[in-house]
Structure 1
């Protein structure tokens, strides 16, 4: 059974156990313009019992290219053969998605919804915090595993899976690592998501450290590129979700993995200090391409004098982690990023043997101080 698009439930708890797709429309708050801020969750209830996987994106409103992969999953997955439940959140932050901006356009102290999860901090009623709290309490509190997508904005593309390495629970750390391998993107960025800003106030930090929910995130893809290239990123992201469903034992689907992975823990961004038009030295680019120290990656051209005003160079020998097409840049905008080849944590590894994990009991989040 699949609900009509006009049928919806107020929260995940209200969704029936009837196999099929169901829709949750959970109100969050009302904005000044009268718009109801809402969290939409597509729930696929499987035909058999099993764990719950949340697949989410859109905490940053300018990262939207995942929607193609999410649409393919919504159209292609059925309850037949699914053990457990899939929670699909295509747009976690509709307020930022409307104007296609990373942050909310308000005067709060914190306008980034992925820096506002309720990890024991005093709660405020700013929009970003209400949105992040709704995701935490209405979705993550009911999940066993999470995939959170943060793809490149228009003009820039990222190429890795990101995974936390410093959760206090070793079981969470191990299952996060295996989720990243199971997703199947050939490049894996191992990051200290708890120790580094914003710590447990990000989706990954909150899920792993506060709730003990293993997670990883796809950063594969961007918008504004060759259609075949974009289609390949979309297919790889959808394939990654199917891989994870298979790894978790939620389906019998076989994992499709590369022969080896480039695993790394540090990068250096090569982004402009001045604003202008990015003129790449090479297109198309390729994730993981070897670059040499001082290699010219691109130039920034003044839109007024039409002369080059900055040259972007590889800082050392390494591998290309992300890149961009020709597009207008402000200082610090996304252009290039290089993985150091000689760093001790940079290595090529073979695909590991992956065994379906045992679900880790979720930890209830401690009540936050202040107003919810």
Structure 2
């Protein structure tokens, strides 16, 4: 069976044709062109932008009929499928590379000609990251030009990283909402069972017996609820995390420590924040330790990037050592989306009291 096909429009003055195609596929189209994608997978939702779909497939060059396998991001625009970007390698690496390429081109320090010249190195896996691109572009440039390239690239990386973190926080919020809705649904099911008990007894017995059976049903439902809650509490008690022998212990918060709800006033300063870790969540790039309140109500979080995991602990599961513990964290206070945070890169930044 032949693969499904999708007709896509490549706009010759936009990112895909000016940046992605030259570097990753070695060509650039001279005008807006309809191309054919041979699809190897069903569409996936682009986690970074709404309204975009991601396909694994092969692009057929409209003139040479050459085949270019890769990953393709498509957006619907005026009832037409427009190709936004395309890549060949790891999605996160390529995403940063795309943003840096676009920023450098818009600032005038990178041209489509440069990217076409870099294509053989990309194809041979010699130029696959934004750092590789900056290094290649910096060759034979003046010191001021190199500084401009590095500044533009760094700004693009920071912006992209912030965008990814924001979306991961949104996904975390949505997951919590789904969990809450599931609990509400289970409660509705329980109440429905009680009502069925009432209806059954009303139809098959006297009014007095029906009332008795109804309240019996309520009692059973409540008993089940109490047992369930009790079981959860008992389980949590038995599995209460215990600080490891390597954990720094304090008898009390140090003098001068600040509270999580006041941390936002200390942005850009070195401080110690003390409070209770009530929630630990994973996201694609690492872990959040939320203090005093669960997301999204929390006003302060500890951030531990996966790239720093080996510096903080041998095993990321050790982060649960801090769950439901009173913890002090020391470091540079920064802010993200209106919340204060400290990025932890060293286990000595954390202490339990």
* TM-score bracket, shorter-length normalisation: under 0.3
- Normalising by structure 1, we get a TM-score of 0.24
- Normalising by structure 2, we get a TM-score of 0.25
Q: Which has the higher helix share?
A: 2
Higher relative contact order (CA 8 A, sep 6+): 1
